[in-house]
Structure 1
């Protein structure tokens, strides 16, 4: 059975790296192949206004995801509030709220989220995000 301590340490390290904005260091925590999904209507993938919202599968994809988020938001107006981290063996669920401002429109938004991570051999192998996709879509709508 995976160590709860290891899972918590990797998740806390990930959250710290996300907060620092170093995309390459964030990606180092992901396995070469990861199950990465975002809860977003299937027909909405590939929208040019929100290119980071798509399924991914590689460590390089992880870096690109966080780089694209940064490119499309106003960093000085970003905040993430972590409310709770629940650990069950290799699995972790992070609950919180993202506060961002869309660079293209200047519209701020808030999105509650749950992030389901799986840690195996010290690396993240699952990254599933459940968020308020309508709030994000409205902020980026022309």
Structure 2
């Protein structure tokens, strides 16, 4: 598969809430980076250092377990590909299961695909908005867009 094919397949499997299928697209070891502090946030258990294919499945499984998939309105607005590298731009729009709080955040995802497998997964998002939604911190002075 080309880099573009792999990215499209990744997005399809994420959209289908298929953590094991997503993990199959990753190299056994990959370079993960989140736009979060290294210690993550207690309200967002899926945010932690990752490196292995098993970590990928766990990440997407936990992400799915905390959100209402039927209310996912995440959109991709652009996919840019340059050789082995791809950048995906869009907006995350999710609803938290436990508290029914919806949130949106722009995102950028930088991927590298080598030999048909993803070796880099760097995602940049509004981590404060995500943490507030998961913690239910949406008081009058805290708006979750």
Aligned counterpart, 1:13: 9
Aligned 1:112-123 pairs, distance under 5 A: 112-123=106-117
Aligned 1:127-142 pairs, distance under 5 A: 127-142=121-136
Measure how far apart 1:104 and its partner are.
2.3
Measure how far apart 1:103 and its partner are.
1.7
> Which consecutive segments of 4 or more residues in structure 1 shift more than 4 A?
none
Aligned counterpart, 1:59: 53
- What is the distance in 2 between the residues matched to 1:57 and 1:17? 19
What's the RMSD between the two structures over aligned residues? 1.3
Unmatched 5+ stretches in structure 2: 137-145
Q: 8 Å contact 1:37–1:54 — kept in the other structure?
A: no
SS in 2 for 1:37: strand
String of CA shifts for 1:43-96, please: whole Å, max 9, x gaps.
4x1x33211112210001111111001111112211210000010110000000
Measure how far apart 1:41 and its partner are.
2.5
- What is the distance in 2 between the residues matched to 1:95 and 1:33? 24
Aligned residues: 136
Unmatched 5+ stretches in structure 1: none
String of CA shifts for 1:12-53, please: whole Å, max 9, x gaps.
11111111111111100000000011111234x1x3321111
* Higher helix proportion (structure 1 or 2): 1
* Higher strand proportion (structure 1 or 2): 1
1:36 aligns with 2:32: yes
SS in 2 for 1:56: coil
SS in 1 for 2:109: strand
What's the TM-score once normalised by structure 2's chain length?
0.89
1:94 aligns with 2:88: yes
